[in-house]
Amino acid sequence: MRQSSLVVVANRLPVDDSVAPDGACEWRRSPGGLVSALHPLLQHTPATWVGWAGGTGPAPALPDIDGVRMRGVALTRDDVRDHYEGFSNSTLWPLYHDAVEQPVYHRRWWEAYQRVNQRFAEAAAEAAEPEAVVWVQDYHLQLVPGLLRAIRPDLRIGFFLHVPFPPPELFMQLPRRAELLLGMLGADLVGFQRAQAAHNFAQLAARVLQLPATDRRIAVDDRVVRIGAFPVSIDTAEMAALAQREDVVRRAARIRTDLGDPQHVILSVDRMDYTKGIEQRLKAYSELIATGHVKVRDTVLVQVAVPSRERVEQYQILRERVEREVGRINGEFGRVGEPAIHYLTQPFDRSELAALYRAADIMAVTPLRDGMNLVAKEYVAARVDGGGGLLLSEFAGAAAELEQAFLVNPHDLEGLKLALMHALQATPADLAARMTAMREHLRVHDIHAWARSYLTALDGSGRLAARFTPA
Ligand code: ADP
Ligand code: F6P
């Protein structure tokens, strides 16, 4: 087995196996914030990515992708059910997102979580050179830092949580809360999206584990674990370059024509997830049509909602409800050839997403809770023309940075309607001033800056960051 000096460990590999129209198996980039963040970062660096390819049974042999070695971890059907769909996405995911859906606890899910974390830790240990850096990602793998340190004490281990880390009142519900905290504390550096999350973590380490803890450092045995906020970002330059490509500009114009050249195109792009506030947004939009504030001929909503975690019951229920509501709104307010909502569930390639962003006057990103939300950042990066308006939930991590967006509380239906109207009626000068400020922020705070700041904190010098990120 070839070993690397940098190993990224994430539940998902950056590719999904899917079946092409001719029945052949093909690989495509998996949608989701983690992959969008790490994929551009690791391109052409001597790294190994340890993760799951999305199927069951033996891990497929994968080719290197853009110079990155892919090391698949095999999951059985039971592992997927109990680790991925169960403990990760029916216990931790809802709990970490303000319990907007009820978290579910089952003892056998915890056993699977431990078992699968152990397997990931062993795969990472095999893939890492002596004294390598191993960077563990997200809530599916919170035990990996501790398990890996036990096998390979020579490694430098980082952990980054892409989703929110909840306040103690919520986290304390977890039956295995101490083990989860200790697992994360196996890392040398634990990174979060927001300073509040690091604060929550420090409070819990003190309360549950009685460890000396500040918002920057936690003492564990004879080690000091550093913690902090490192807001993740996107490859701003890559998205901007894509959005400027002639074919993308032409495609954006074509999208507007196909939509009937309305005055306003509103766009939302989400994974089909109950944290994304899709139902609240549809309700606000339909009420605005019903009261005549929005006219279907003048304004269209394009809702892209790519199915996600489709075997989890809460996701199945959400999809049914969203599709029923889209059908109701189109049935009630649409006309022949003029639906009120254009609803798309397909995964798109990056250039089609860029064209959609460029075609949209208003991007509505209104999650009930979101660790960061990279779609909001992608939209801003794509608006190389300086146009467009961003309607953004206060409960997305991105709101702390994109302060010039039209910020909204998505739980407040009247507030949501007002903010949408405000964005729709904003003057071009107001929109341009907001967009320019947000673009400038993202020009500096891109994915490379994120990696530099995290990796510099991880090794205490600039050496590691210089090895893996462009100057
Ligand atoms: P999350 O991590 O919860 O999925 P983010 O907004 O942070 O949310 O990231 C979603 C990522 O998935 C973005 O990079 C976005 O471009 C991508 N994505 C969302 N919908 C699609 C789609 N239909 N096709 C392809 N990529 C998508
Ligand atoms: O960003 C949060 C996250 O859970 C990532 O870890 C994940 O890759 C992405 O959303 C998509 O979810 P999933 O991997 O379950 O399809």
Q: How far apart are CA 302 and CA 421, in angstroms?
A: 16
Q: Measured in angstroms, how far is the CA atom of residue 147 from the centroid of ligand 1?
A: 30
**Nearest residue to 410 via CA among 265, 320, 276:** 276
The stretch 336-349 carries a mean pLDDT of 96
Q: How many CB atoms lie within 10 A of CB 429?
A: 8
User: Which pLDDT score, from 0 to 100, does residue 20 have?
Assistant: 47
Answer yes or no: is the C-beta of 97 below 6 A from any ligand 2 atom. no
Q: Measured in angstroms, how far is the CA atom of residue 463 from the centroid of ligand 2?
A: 30
Residue 113, pLDDT > 90, answer yes
User: Which pLDDT score, from 0 to 100, does residue 19 have?
Assistant: 44
Per-residue pLDDT tens over the stretch 47-82: 999 999 899 999 888 888 878 899 999 999 999 999
Q: Of the listed 39, 83, 140, 162, which one is catalytic?
A: 162
> Relative to the CA of 273, which ligand 1 atom is closest?
3
User: Which pLDDT score, from 0 to 100, does residue 64 have?
Assistant: 84
For residue 187, with 0-12 CB atoms within 10 Å meaning exposed, 13-18 middle and 19 or more buried, which class applies?
buried
The mean pLDDT of the chain is: 94
Residue 21, pLDDT > 60, answer no
Residue 470, pLDDT > 70, answer no
Q: Which of 88, 353, 369 to mutate to test the pocket of ligand 1 (most atoms within 8 A of CB)?
A: 353
DSSP-based helix, strand, coil % in the chain, nearest 5: 45, 20, 30
Helix or strand run (H / E) with residue 265: strand 264-271
Residue 44, pLDDT > 90, answer no
User: Which pLDDT score, from 0 to 100, does residue 41 have?
Assistant: 79
Q: What is the pTM of this model?
A: 0.95
**183 versus 17: which is more confidently predicted?**
183
User: Which pLDDT score, from 0 to 100, does residue 18 have?
Assistant: 52
User: Which pLDDT score, from 0 to 100, does residue 45 have?
Assistant: 74
Per-residue pLDDT tens over the stretch 238-284: 999 999 999 999 999 999 999 999 999 999 999 999 999 999 999 99
